Each structure stands twice: as C-alpha cells, then as structure tokens.
Amino acid sequence: THFGFQTVKESEKADKVYEVFEEVAQSYDKMNDAMSFGIHRLWKDIFVDRLAPSKPCKILDVAGGTGDIAFRIAKYLRNSDGGGITVCDINQAMLDVGRKRASELGFSGMEWLQGNAECLSSIADNTYDSYTIAFGIRNVTHIDKALKEAYRVLKPGGQFMCLEFSQVQNENLRWLYDQYSFQAIPVMGQLIAGQWKAYQYLVESIRQFPNQEEFAGMIERAGFAFVRHENLTFGVVAIHCGHKL
C-alpha cells in the first residue's frame, strides 16, 4: 500500500509494533487526546462501567500501556492503592510511563509486568477474575494465541473484555472516517509527536483488524461463552466480552 505496512511480514510485525510503541511512549497520552478529540476517555469510561468490577477481585489488564484502564478500574473500585490489579505490556517504555503516572496518582499496589499477550508464561492457570485488553489486541501478531492465553489465565466464571477499533457500520460515515484517519492522523502524529510513520502504522492496523462479527467468532473459538459486542460511536470502536465457564 502507499502506507507501506501491509507488506510487513508476520515475523516482522512484533518488532515493528515494539518499535512503534517505543517511539510513541512519551507522547502517547497526548496523541490519544488529539486524535480522538478526547473521546477515547469516554470509551474507556464506558468500558470500565461495562466491566463493572466488584471487590475483591484480581484483574489483569493486558497491553495496558500507560495504565489508562487500570487507573479507571482502581477508581471504580475505590481501591486507593490499586492492589489486585496487574498491568501487563510487552513494551517496557510504555510501562515506565505508566508506573510514573501510578506513583503520581498514589496507586502503589499495582503490579507492572512486562510480558507478551501471546505467552503469559509467568501467570498460572485460573488466576484472574477479569482480563481486559484495550486498543491492544490488534497489535498482537497471533490473536488466536492471545485469546487462548486469556482463557487460560482466567478463573472459571471469569470475564474477558476487549475494547478495540472496529468497523464503522454506516457506509457514508465510514468514508468520512477513512478520510479523517488516513489524511489527518499521520499529519497530527508528525506535528504533535514528530512520528509520521508510527501513526501511519496505527491507522493501517485499525483497517486490517477483523470486524465485529469476525472478532466475536474468534473469541468463541478460543472457548469463551456468551460472547457479545456493543458498538460505540457508530462502530468506530466496539466492546467485546465473553465468559469462561
């Protein structure tokens, strides 16, 4: 493609993703606000509201990056130190930013774990009540492996919840959204973060991700039951959830 990323081989995808988040870690939070006009905050609030965690619980936030979901979960639970919440991410630079934010917010009890969603080898089977992943799964090379790992680390009765970009349902709106994302986002990435290519990758990865129904099918094939999804902002993003019986 003219973005040059569709030709990235599977074996190179993980390196590419690592590089991208290494580059954007410092500007990541600022860019999210700029690109989504702050709407990502609402999506994340709704996501945690749908998760509706209740104490006592153990929650794993995978691809947790700079901690946006984990902090919201702690606030929702009125859990003043964030104990019981683990943030896992493959990228140490993202985790470092998150850890710094956590100490500024007083969440001293959160666990920060460097690890790959496809192979959570340091986590035992049946450990967590909830597994969350927000804007992370489209970056994973083998989505089926990540879903199997989610299933493995959840306790029976545990809940899988995913927030991810999806397919805008209305064709006219989809056209408008495509114009915005292909034309404006790399420009904003360059102006705000000095990162044209990294933001081209982000747009491209959104386009390549399976649509709502396809992704729901993948979650079912990993073993989850009662799989449902909810579109937010006309399907710009969707929340998928499923249960381990």
Chain contacts with ligand SAM (rule: CB under 6 A)? 17, 21, 62-65, 68-69, 89-91, 94, 116-118, 134-136, 139-140
Of 97 and 168, the one with the shorter C-beta distance to ligand SAM is 97
Residue nearest to ligand SAM according to CB distances in the complex: 65
C-beta closer to ligand SAM: residue 17 or 216: 17
Least distance from ligand SAM to the Cβ atom of residue 4, Å: 20
178 is in an annotated binding site: no
Pick the closer one to ligand SAM by CB: 65 or 189. Answer: 65
CB of 162 closer than 8 Å to CB of 240:
yes
Q: Tell me if 117 is assigned to a ligand binding site.
A: yes
Q: What's the closest the beta carbon of residue 131 comes to ligand SAM, in angstroms?
A: 12
Tell whether residue 49 is among the known ligand binding residues: no
How many angstroms separate the CA atoms of 41 and 24, rounded?
18
Q: Give the largest Cα separation in the chain, rounded.
A: 50
Q: Which is nearer to ligand SAM, 12 or 157 (CB)?
A: 12
DSSP state of 86: E
Binding-site annotation, residues for S-adenosyl-L-methionine: 66, 89, 116-117
